[in-house]
Chain A
Amino acid sequence: MKKCILALLLVATPMWAQLDGFGRQQLLKYTSMNPYGRLPDGRPNIPNKYIEGLKTASSEMVWGPMRSAGFTNQWSGGWQIVHPEIKLIGRAVTAQFMPVRPDVNEIIENDNNPDKTVSNNQRVINALRPGDVLVVDLFGKIEQGTFAGDNLTASIYATTGNGFVIDGAVRDLDGIHPQNVPVYVRGFHVSAIGNVMLTGINVPVRIGDTTVMPGDLVVGDREGLTFIPPHVVSDVYSKAKLTELHDIWTKGKFATGKYKSSELYPRPKDPALIKEYEDWLAGQKKKLGIE
């Protein structure tokens, strides 16, 4: 019960505004194409079905469908990845930091942390919920750009069940690694976070060459991260599955050693093979319930 009241209080306060400006009203406006429900904080609530379904997807499987939907700037690479063998997938909670200046930060802290009890990175972590993937813009800062160490990593994981993305750094890598969560960073540093101010929670953020909106679906693999807008998720899911099925069948055939590359790829040439592929594909599609 206490927890419920606390949760209500947290939602009711504009804790996610920080440097206010981009608030709930703007979030609704700029994510108005969202076809799903919304989370209490206003973010689009992409259904779990797609989160589960895209757990086997790679960057390439979603790249093509994203391009055909007109989204050419949603992939970001060049990361240092802790546990690249584990997929990172979930709904984006965004946070933006900027270089500190006292005149602005004083106002931010007075508004959002009047008792001076909660550090700025912990205010971000407090906004997380199960299924979220935290995406933090620390403008590539390494020294003093360390959003979390091993303790706060444990806290993020316990809350979201996911790893996270920092366009910046983490510390305590020796304590983070055994936790077996995927963490995407630009580097590592022994220093603690500092010399920055928290300018936004759940605002549009720039991560590398992408603009990430709160509630985007984050898909991370060994190569990098794709940020998928809610209104194209179902289409991307179906098309990514087709690529996945195609690749399973094609690699399986190659493994027999009987075929030259061009006989199978990109499509089988022999009519009998085409039929075999299409029958198999139809069965698989039916099983998954996709077109």
Chain B
Amino acid sequence: MLRRIPLAGLLVICSLPLCAQLDGFGRDKLLKYTAQNPYERSVDGRPQVPDYWLERLEAVSTTTAADVLREEGYPNQWEDGWAILHPEKKLIGRAFTVQFMPSRPDLESVLNTDATEAVNEEEVPTPVTQRVMEMFGPGDIPVVDVMGRIEEGTFGGDNLIFSMFVATGKGFVVDGSFRDLDGVYPMQTMVFSRGYHPGVRGRTILTGLNTPTRIGKVTVMPGDVVLGDRMGIVFIPPHLVQKVVEHSDGSPLF
């Protein structure tokens, strides 16, 4: 119920530098670099591959999807080497990318100025992780680049991760870690990370929201379809999702 209100407010949120990532790669660039998207777009500009196709991916393995993508000239959409929570499930949804980089005070001061200008000064500033998490909507899969860090590379613990699950109905992908594994495990949601750590994230700055983001050997674009199974993750460009599904329908390619 609560999510309905933020959805209406999402346009406003996205037009403000509320999260104060490095500006530059905005909506116009997103449209330009995802021009091959054949579907509608969500309010933030990301390609919105219809649920119809996402549901059909339930029957597709990452191996099959990777085969089709390779045939189509996309050999770099596969990433492995994950610590997988609930590998018996599948993770399918639309990528919402988040990028962190090592902090440095000069950049941080510009980012903080942007963030302060965007919010009511009377309000207690919301921590960056929460500000990012509040942007996720139904069907989104957060794809978070924390540079593969374990210590000081955590993206939330059980409370915030639960709030994220409620908002998206999905698990998430973090090229980094998270905390409170004992609290997250019973949520029965699939999570791909590089490990776990009891500490909090540190020495990082938020540099990108829905920008091209590198996750291991893959360049992930906002709105790519995430397909994760017990082997790893395939990030499928929107214009190739139908091909992946159709090649997998009953007649295996290879």
Contacts and interface: CB of A to CB of B under 8 A. Distances in A.
Given A26-B24, A101-B237, A199 B212 contact: yes
Nearest to A199: B212
A99 B239 contact: no
Nearest to A73: B102
A99 B33 contact: no
B221 A104 contact: yes
A104 B213 CA distance: 12
A204 B207 contact: yes
Interface stretch (A126-134, A153-161, A175-183, A206-214): A206-214
Contacts of A30: 22, 106-107, 110
Interface string B99-130: 00111111101100000000000000000000
Interface stretch (B72-80, B155-163, B181-189, B242-250): B72-80
B24 A74 contact: no
A22 B211 CA distance: 11
Nearest to B237: A103
Contact of A103 (B107, B110, B239): B239
B73 A102 contact: yes
A102 B32 CA distance: 14
B214 A73 contact: no
B24 A23 contact: yes
B147 A74 contact: no
Interface in A94-108: 98-104, 107
B33 A107 contact: yes
A72 B106 CA distance: 12
Given A21-B211, A22-B25, A104-B212, A211 B110 contact: no
B219 A100 contact: yes
Interface in A74-112: 74, 98-104, 107
A62 B74 CA distance: 44
Interface in A221-274: 229, 231
Given A73-B103, A103-B239, A195 B33 contact: no
Contacts of A70: 105
A206 B34 CA distance: 24
A50 interface: no
B218 interface: yes
Nearest to B37: A103
B106 A22 contact: no
Most-contacted residue by chain A among B22, B74, B102 (CB, 10 A): B102
Contact of B101 (A74, A103, A211): A211
Contacts of A99: 76, 214, 217-219
A48 interface: no
B237 A204 contact: no
A245 to B, nearest CB: 28
B74 A210 contact: no
Nearest to A102: B73
Interface string A50-73: 000000000000000000011111
Contact of A26 (B22, B75, B76): B22
Given A98-B214, A99-B218, 7 more contacts: A21-B29, A33-B106, A73-B203, A103-B35, A209-B147, A211-B101, A213-B106
Interface of B: 22-26, 29, 32-36, 73-77, 101-107, 109-110, 147, 203, 205, 207, 211-212, 214, 217-219, 221, 237, 239
